[in-house]
Amino acid sequence: MSQAAEEIAAVLLDTGAFLVRPEAPFRLTSGLLAPFYVNCRLILSRPEARAQSAAALAATVPQPATTVVAGGVTAGVPYATLVADRLALPLVYVRTEAKAHGTAGRIEGGEVAGERVHLIEDLISTAGSILAFAHALRDAGAEVERVSVLFSRAGASAQRALEEAGLALTAICDLETLLAVALSRGRIDEKGLGEVQAFLADPEGWSASRAV
């Protein structure tokens, strides 16, 4: 594992952003129950961890090729803001849907037509949100080829979807690294690790077996 990946894994653990709770599973956006959850928002209230995360993400943004940094509402916006500030680049954010008042736009902060936009998100799982944000930026005339995330648990289908959309993904830390660091630091035991691995092998089956 890379040094950056190990450092961000430590950040996720130290801030409590990585939670393992097989006995009281988390309900995911997909509706499935899962034995673990990653909440990168918890990093934001910790200045040192926040700075580490921003530096790691900023290092993935090509310069001077990038002309605008973008974040998706809501979780990607603070990280995109931190990166744009570090790199002294313009910032925009993308709504999940067009607002029903004012300019009725999805992209806020400025025009992106003709700009080379780097999309920043906190994490990726199914890639659905990232694809939607990228399409919105492209529809507005932006060139979007790259996305960076702090953490990835994207499976093969998400990776394929990104490739088909012409998006190159850079993830600072992935689930394999996070689990390895958590195990080495005693933040997860073999039983918890087994539950996470069982879920990853068969998410629907694991979820169904815990449904009440």
pLDDT in tens, 73-107: 999 999 999 999 999 999 999 998 866 555 557 99
| Residues 91, 98: Cα–Cα separation, whole Å | 18
Listed in sequence order, the residues at least 6 apart from 94 whose beta carbon sits closer than 8 Å to its beta carbon are 70, 71, 72, 73, 106, 107, 108, 133, 136, 137
Partners of 169 in beta bridges: 147
Cα-to-chain-centroid distance, residue 143: 20
Distance CA 165, CA 184 (A): 37
Q: Print the domain residue range for 15.
A: 3-210
- Give this prediction's pTM: 0.93
- Overall domain count for the chain: 1
pLDDT score for 102: 56
Residue 105 · residue 122 · CB < 8 Å: no
pLDDT tens-digit map of 9-53: 999 999 999 999 999 999 988 889 999 999 999 999 999 999 999
pLDDT digits (tens, 9 = 90+) for 106-146: 999 999 999 999 999 999 999 999 999 999 999 999 999 99
68 membership: H or E segment, kind and range: strand 68-72
Alpha-carbon distance of 115 to 111, in angstroms, equals: 8
SS3 209: helix
Q: What CATH number is associated with residue 199?
A: 3.40.50.2020
